[in-house]
Amino acid sequence: MTPVMANRISRVSEYYFSTKLKQIEEMNRSGTAVINLGIGSPDLPPSENVIGKLVESSMKHDNHGYQSYRGIGSLRQAFAAWYRKYYRVDLDPLHEILPLMGSKEGIFYISMAFLNEGDKVLVPDPGYPTYKAVTELVGAEVITYDLRAEKKWCPELDRLEKLDLAQVKIMWVNYPHMPTGAKATRALFQELVDFGKRHDMLVCNDNPYSFILNDDPLSLLDAKGSKETALELNSLSKSHNMAGWRIGMVTGNRAFIDHINTVTSNIQSGMFLPVQHAAIEALDHPRSWYNQLNRVYSGRRKRVWQLLDLLHCTYEKEQAGLFIWARIPGETDSFAFSDEILERARVFITPGGIFGKNGVNYIRVSLCSPEEIILESIKRIKQIVQ
């Protein structure tokens, strides 16, 4: 007998990048290698100190066993010190911080901890596809809310107030926003917290991009009353070039964190201890670490602007994060636009349509390639646009 797949699998499809990478791999076998400007996986390494700490800790014979479900105390203390220094937010490291193996899994754990089948979830459009996919996997209902360029890609809470929000349990927000690069303000975060309290919903900010090309990192938890209604996810993936290390965290009030820990403790068995030691080292980086990283991304961004000008795209220059979000000319569909560049120039650029209907006329270009690779992309694209 062939096992029948669970109904929840039929609600979602394979992640877009998973299928696209298979296509790119096949193209690489049949001709000139494709330049991938699509995925935001930092190509630069962590600091030497971080790598050294991992090696040092790994050499100790008693550091290879199972670990605490809540992470070691010194890691939680390091996260708390990081939040105090850069976000001006005080957190209780014992009760208000839960380390995760990447913040992406936190989206799943939060959904498992707070959603029942039939509950509703507010998901941004455009937005990170995982919010929608996980909501559907746990049997809840997705209610998309529009983000629009003319509103600087911020939620229009006055429009949401007109909806029936009685069954909405979670609202996902993500600032600095992916894919648009829009930044939040303290005023917006306060409005979101007040909105969540009015409607008895959990407002969850996914915050992995706040140090990239952004001089003023903000946290939703800095807003007055936030711990009554908010959670925040954060990660070292982008800010410290540690995407493959899978180090993240979720923070909020003790009751919320306890609910999430009930889920995590039944699914995973703690983070590798040497990785935790390395994360502590990374969290102690001075401001100069972020400044140096942003100088690299700033140079790459200028090259990407050149590439986008070649394609007659328009874009805002004050974007934060690892990508540039750009409006393609005319009313061309972003999937067709991306596929044409891939086939003719062998350069992959992410179509904005994967992030929702409001992204269908946009593309997203990653800054995670050296300038010489972006220059080669420009060279290839020049050949197809002339």
Predicted pLDDT at 1: 58
Bridge partner residues of 233 (DSSP): 206, 250
- Could you give the angle at the alpha carbon of 153 between the alpha carbons of 151 and 157, nearest 5°? 70
Residue 78, helix vs strand vs coil: helix
User: Does 265 lie in the same domain as 316?
Assistant: no
Does any domain span residue 1? Answer: no
User: Does 247 lie in the same domain as 326?
Assistant: no
Does any domain span residue 4? Answer: no
Query: Domain with 379 in it: what CATH number?
Result: 3.90.1150.10
Predicted pLDDT at 118: 93
Structure tokens at 130: 């995982």
Does any domain span residue 6? Answer: no
With 0-12 / 13-18 / 19 or more C-beta atoms within 10 angstroms meaning exposed / middle / buried, residue 306 is middle
337-348 pLDDT, tens digit per residue, is 999 999 999 999
235-244 pLDDT, tens digit per residue, is 999 999 999 9
Residues whose CB falls within 8 Å of the CB of residue 39, separated by 6 or more in sequence, listed in order? 17, 350, 366, 368
Predicted pLDDT at 78: 98
Structure tokens at 96: 């208000």
Does any domain span residue 135? Answer: yes
Does any domain span residue 57? Answer: yes
Predicted pLDDT at 312: 96
User: Does 138 lie in the same domain as 94?
Assistant: yes
Give every residue of the chain whose pLDDT is below 50, as ranges.
none
Predicted pLDDT at 330: 87
Bridge partner residues of 124 (DSSP): 145
Query: Domain with 242 in it: what CATH number?
Result: 3.40.640.10
Of 260, 283, 306, which marks where a domain is finished? 283
Instruction: Summarize the chain as % helix, strand, coil (round to 5).
Output: 45, 15, 40
From the CB of residue 312, how many other CB atoms can be counted at a distance below 10 Å?
Answer: 12
User: Does 54 lie in the same domain as 36?
Assistant: no
The total number of structural domains in the chain stands at 2
Q: How is residue 41 annotated by DSSP? A: -
Structure tokens at 20: 């696209």
Predicted pLDDT at 20: 81
Strand 248-251 relative to strand 314-315: parallel, antiparallel, unpaired?
unpaired
User: Does 212 lie in the same domain as 100?
Assistant: yes
User: Does 299 lie in the same domain as 234?
Assistant: no
User: Does 263 lie in the same domain as 296?
Assistant: no
User: Does 178 lie in the same domain as 85?
Assistant: yes
d(CA 222, CA 190): 8
Determine the number of helices (DSSP H) and then strands (DSSP E) in the chain: 13, 13
User: Does 260 lie in the same domain as 303?
Assistant: no
User: Does 227 lie in the same domain as 131?
Assistant: yes
Contact call for residues 379 and 386 (beta carbons, < 8 A): no
User: Does 75 lie in the same domain as 37?
Assistant: no
Predicted pLDDT at 13: 67
What's the Cα-to-Cα distance from 63 to each of 66, 164, 271, 339, rounded to whole Å? 9, 52, 11, 47
User: Does 77 lie in the same domain as 205?
Assistant: yes
- Containing domain of residue 334, as a range? 14-43+288-385
Of 261, 283, 305, which marks where a domain is finished? 283
Residues whose CB falls within 8 Å of the CB of residue 384, separated by 6 or more in sequence, listed in order? 341, 344, 345
> Residue 50: which H helix or E strand, with range?
helix 48-58
From the CB of residue 338, how many other CB atoms can be counted at a distance below 10 Å?
Answer: 24
Does any domain span residue 3? Answer: no
Of 225, 259, 283, which marks where a domain is finished? 283
